[in-house]
Amino acid sequence: MKILIIGCGRVGSSVAKEMSEAGHEVTVIDWSQEALNKAAARGILGDSFRGTAIVGDGTDEDLLRRVGIEDADAFVAVTDGDNRNIMAAQIAQYIFNVPKVVCRIYDPIRDDVYSDLGLQTLCPTKVGSARIQLMLQEA
Protein backbone atom coordinates (compact mmCIF):
# COMPACT_ATOMS: atom_id res chain seq x y z
CA MET A 1 0.00 0.00 0.00
CA LYS A 2 1.26 3.52 -0.82
CA ILE A 3 0.58 5.85 2.11
CA LEU A 4 1.07 9.62 2.43
CA ILE A 5 1.16 11.05 5.95
CA ILE A 6 0.91 14.78 6.60
CA GLY A 7 2.35 15.67 9.99
CA CYS A 8 5.42 14.15 11.61
CA GLY A 9 4.65 14.61 15.28
CA ARG A 10 4.35 11.65 17.62
CA VAL A 11 1.30 10.16 15.89
CA GLY A 12 2.36 10.79 12.29
CA SER A 13 5.89 9.52 12.82
CA SER A 14 4.67 6.44 14.71
CA VAL A 15 2.19 5.56 11.97
CA ALA A 16 4.93 6.13 9.36
CA LYS A 17 7.33 3.83 11.19
CA GLU A 18 4.80 1.06 11.79
CA MET A 19 3.45 1.10 8.25
CA SER A 20 6.98 1.16 6.83
CA GLU A 21 7.97 -1.81 8.99
CA ALA A 22 4.87 -3.63 7.74
CA GLY A 23 6.24 -3.28 4.22
CA HIS A 24 4.19 -0.37 2.94
CA GLU A 25 5.56 2.50 0.85
CA VAL A 26 5.38 5.53 3.13
CA THR A 27 5.99 9.22 2.58
CA VAL A 28 5.71 11.59 5.52
CA ILE A 29 5.52 15.35 4.98
CA ASP A 30 5.90 18.06 7.60
CA TRP A 31 6.37 21.78 7.17
CA SER A 32 9.08 21.70 9.86
CA GLN A 33 12.53 20.18 9.43
CA GLU A 34 12.70 20.24 13.22
CA ALA A 35 9.75 17.82 13.47
CA LEU A 36 11.48 15.40 11.11
CA ASN A 37 14.73 15.76 13.08
CA LYS A 38 12.93 15.06 16.38
CA ALA A 39 11.35 11.92 14.94
CA ALA A 40 14.76 10.75 13.75
CA ALA A 41 16.37 11.56 17.12
CA ARG A 42 13.69 9.53 18.92
CA GLY A 43 14.53 6.60 16.65
CA ILE A 44 11.08 6.65 15.09
CA LEU A 45 12.33 7.52 11.61
CA GLY A 46 15.65 5.79 12.12
CA ASP A 47 17.36 2.92 10.34
CA SER A 48 14.26 0.72 10.15
CA PHE A 49 12.28 3.42 8.34
CA ARG A 50 12.31 2.64 4.63
CA GLY A 51 10.08 5.53 3.60
CA THR A 52 10.65 9.10 2.59
CA ALA A 53 10.51 12.17 4.82
CA ILE A 54 9.97 15.55 3.13
CA VAL A 55 9.80 19.13 4.37
CA GLY A 56 6.84 20.85 2.78
CA ASP A 57 3.22 21.92 2.90
CA GLY A 58 0.82 18.99 2.88
CA THR A 59 -1.85 21.14 1.25
CA ASP A 60 0.35 22.08 -1.73
CA GLU A 61 -1.12 20.23 -4.70
CA ASP A 62 2.13 20.42 -6.70
CA LEU A 63 4.10 18.88 -3.84
CA LEU A 64 1.46 16.20 -3.39
CA ARG A 65 1.71 15.34 -7.09
CA ARG A 66 5.52 15.16 -6.87
CA VAL A 67 5.33 12.65 -4.02
CA GLY A 68 2.80 10.52 -5.88
CA ILE A 69 -0.60 11.28 -4.39
CA GLU A 70 -2.24 10.27 -7.66
CA ASP A 71 -1.12 6.67 -6.99
CA ALA A 72 -1.67 6.73 -3.22
CA ASP A 73 -3.84 4.11 -1.57
CA ALA A 74 -4.15 6.02 1.69
CA PHE A 75 -3.70 9.52 3.08
CA VAL A 76 -3.40 10.46 6.75
CA ALA A 77 -3.64 14.06 8.01
CA VAL A 78 -2.29 14.37 11.56
CA THR A 79 -0.74 17.82 11.89
CA ASP A 80 -1.35 19.82 15.05
CA GLY A 81 -3.99 21.97 13.32
CA ASP A 82 -7.57 20.99 12.60
CA ASN A 83 -7.88 23.40 9.67
CA ARG A 84 -4.73 22.06 8.01
CA ASN A 85 -5.83 18.48 8.52
CA ILE A 86 -9.30 19.15 7.15
CA MET A 87 -7.95 20.99 4.11
CA ALA A 88 -5.31 18.33 3.36
CA ALA A 89 -7.84 15.52 3.77
CA GLN A 90 -10.36 17.22 1.49
CA ILE A 91 -7.69 17.77 -1.17
CA ALA A 92 -6.70 14.10 -0.98
CA GLN A 93 -10.29 12.85 -1.03
CA TYR A 94 -12.02 15.21 -3.44
CA ILE A 95 -9.27 16.41 -5.80
CA PHE A 96 -7.05 13.32 -5.98
CA ASN A 97 -9.64 10.66 -5.14
CA VAL A 98 -7.39 8.82 -2.70
CA PRO A 99 -9.36 5.69 -1.70
CA LYS A 100 -8.66 5.85 2.06
CA VAL A 101 -8.36 9.21 3.82
CA VAL A 102 -8.09 9.61 7.59
CA CYS A 103 -8.18 13.01 9.28
CA ARG A 104 -7.50 13.82 12.94
CA ILE A 105 -9.70 16.60 14.28
CA TYR A 106 -9.36 17.74 17.90
CA ASP A 107 -12.53 19.87 18.04
CA PRO A 108 -15.58 17.60 18.59
CA ILE A 109 -17.94 20.02 16.82
CA ARG A 110 -15.73 20.15 13.73
CA ASP A 111 -15.36 16.39 13.92
CA ASP A 112 -19.13 15.95 13.72
CA VAL A 113 -19.49 18.42 10.85
CA TYR A 114 -16.71 16.97 8.69
CA SER A 115 -17.64 13.41 9.47
CA ASP A 116 -21.16 14.21 8.27
CA LEU A 117 -19.61 15.65 5.09
CA GLY A 118 -17.92 12.35 4.34
CA LEU A 119 -14.43 12.61 5.83
CA GLN A 120 -13.24 9.68 7.88
CA THR A 121 -12.26 11.44 11.10
CA LEU A 122 -10.67 10.58 14.41
CA CYS A 123 -11.26 12.92 17.33
CA PRO A 124 -8.82 12.26 20.21
CA THR A 125 -10.91 14.55 22.41
CA LYS A 126 -13.95 12.29 22.04
CA VAL A 127 -11.94 9.08 22.26
CA GLY A 128 -10.10 10.26 25.39
CA SER A 129 -13.27 11.49 27.06
CA ALA A 130 -15.10 8.22 26.38
CA ARG A 131 -12.16 6.18 27.70
CA ILE A 132 -11.91 8.25 30.90
CA GLN A 133 -15.65 7.83 31.49
CA LEU A 134 -15.27 4.06 31.14
CA MET A 135 -12.34 4.03 33.53
CA LEU A 136 -14.30 6.02 36.09
CA GLN A 137 -17.28 3.68 35.81
CA GLU A 138 -15.03 0.65 36.30
CA ALA A 139 -13.53 2.04 39.50
Query: What residue ranges define each of the domains in the chain, with the CATH number in brackets?
Result: 2-138 (3.40.50.720)
Specify whether the CB–CB gap between 122 and 97 falls below 8 A: no
Each residue's pLDDT expressed in tens, for the chain with a length of 139 residues = 999 999 999 999 999 999 999 999 999 999 999 999 999 998 888 777 899 999 999 999 999 999 999 999 999 999 999 999 999 999 999 999 999 999 999 999 999 999 988 899 999 999 999 999 999 998 6
Specify whether the CB–CB gap between 105 and 82 falls below 8 A: yes
| Gyration radius from the chain CA atoms | 15
Specify whether the CB–CB gap between 27 and 55 falls below 8 A: no
pTM: 0.93
Specify whether the CB–CB gap between 14 and 42 falls below 8 A: no
100-104 and 120-122: which strand pairing?
parallel
